[in-house]
Amino acid sequence: MCKKLDQAVVASIMKMIPNGSRLELPSEQLTNYPQVKKALLNAGGKYKKCGFEFTCDAQDILARLSEGEAVNDKKTFQFFPTPKPLAQKLVELADIQESHTCLEPEAGQGAISDLILNKTANCTVVELMPENAKILTNKGYQPIVGDFLSMRPESLGQFDRIVANPPFTKNQDIDHITQMYSMLKPGGKIVSIASRSWIRGQQKKQVSFQNWLEDIGATLTAIPDGAFSESGTAVGAVIVQIHKPKKVA
């Protein structure tokens, strides 16, 4: 069940003026502005010059908030955009050639895929969050909208390179990386961000993942602390690189 906003907060939000991707503050002072600001920041807004900017049509956000919905897609979908310097590093490590087919699962708003397109036009993107899928479409992508973990190689295909920044909570990064491997062509490469939590974790899934990565010769590179600060999280992370043998025994 979705968390609901206080009706007084909703009433104040409805006084705001939609203007493209912005919600402008009204001329009157909002007595509950701290609560209004929190609701708008949770909904993905960024404060700028007497208003809040969104990455989508602000009217859509306003419509959801008007019904009392406590919008927090970042938390719901675990969407933390890949900062550009880190996205550049991932694509560099992937060593993408023009002939390669590429996949970005959980593509977000295209931070990684936009850079992949500088290397090859063969880039498939998968995205679960509706607002992000709209943004990808507006950028010219044809996103496959749905849950990557429910997809299969028989329908999605296999790829030469898979570059990703998957969600971390509840070992979702483990699930995503193992799923990616099933969609990787022999001779292909995965470059993915992952959390640090499983590295010394003792859960059965975490230990199994540790052993699997060791067996297949994966490499881990630490990501400096604070790399995701601009995306609103201080979570520790690593880069996982996996090469799939050309001939699998």
The Cα–Cα gap between 38 and 36 comes to 5
Which amino acid appears at position 131 of this protein? E
Average pLDDT taken over every residue of the chain: 88
Q: What CATH number does domain 84-243 carry, 3.40.50.150, 1.20.1090.10, 3.50.7.10, 3.20.20.20?
A: 3.40.50.150
Higher per-residue confidence, 4 vs 177: 177
Question: Which one, of 181, 190, 165, 177, lies nearest residue 95 by Cα?
Answer: 190
Signed CA dihedral, 186, 168, 79, 146: sign only: positive
Would you say 235 and 219 are in contact if contact means Cβ atoms under 8 Å apart?
no
What pTM value is reported for the model? 0.71
Mean pLDDT of 199-220: 95
Token pair for 143: 């996103």
Residues 6+ apart with CB under 8 A from 157: 101, 124, 183
For 103-142, how does the pLDDT look when each residue is reduced to its tens digit (9 = 90+)? 999 899 999 999 999 999 999 999 988 888 989 999 999 9
pLDDT value, residue 102: 98
Long-range contacts of 203-210 (CB under 8 A, 24+ apart): 203/171, 205/171, 205/174, 206/171, 206/174, 209/171, 209/174, 209/177, 209/178
pLDDT value, residue 42: 83
pLDDT tier at 247, thresholds 50, 70, 90: confident
Q: Please classify residue 102 by burial: count the beta carbons closer than 10 Å to its beta carbon, then call 0-12 exposed, 13-18 middle and 19+ buried.
A: buried
Which amino acid appears at position 54 of this protein? F
pLDDT value, residue 166: 92
The answer to whether residue 232 scores a pLDDT higher than 80 is: no
Q: Which of 9-13, 77-81, 189-193, 201-205 has the highest mean pLDDT?
A: 189-193
pLDDT value, residue 66: 81
Mean pLDDT of 151-164: 96
Signed CA dihedral, 60, 66, 68, 70: sign only: positive
Estimate the crossing angle of helix 172-182 against helix 204-215, to 10 degrees. 40
Residue spans of the domains in the chain: they are 7-71, 84-243
Would you say 174 and 198 are in contact if contact means Cβ atoms under 8 Å apart?
yes
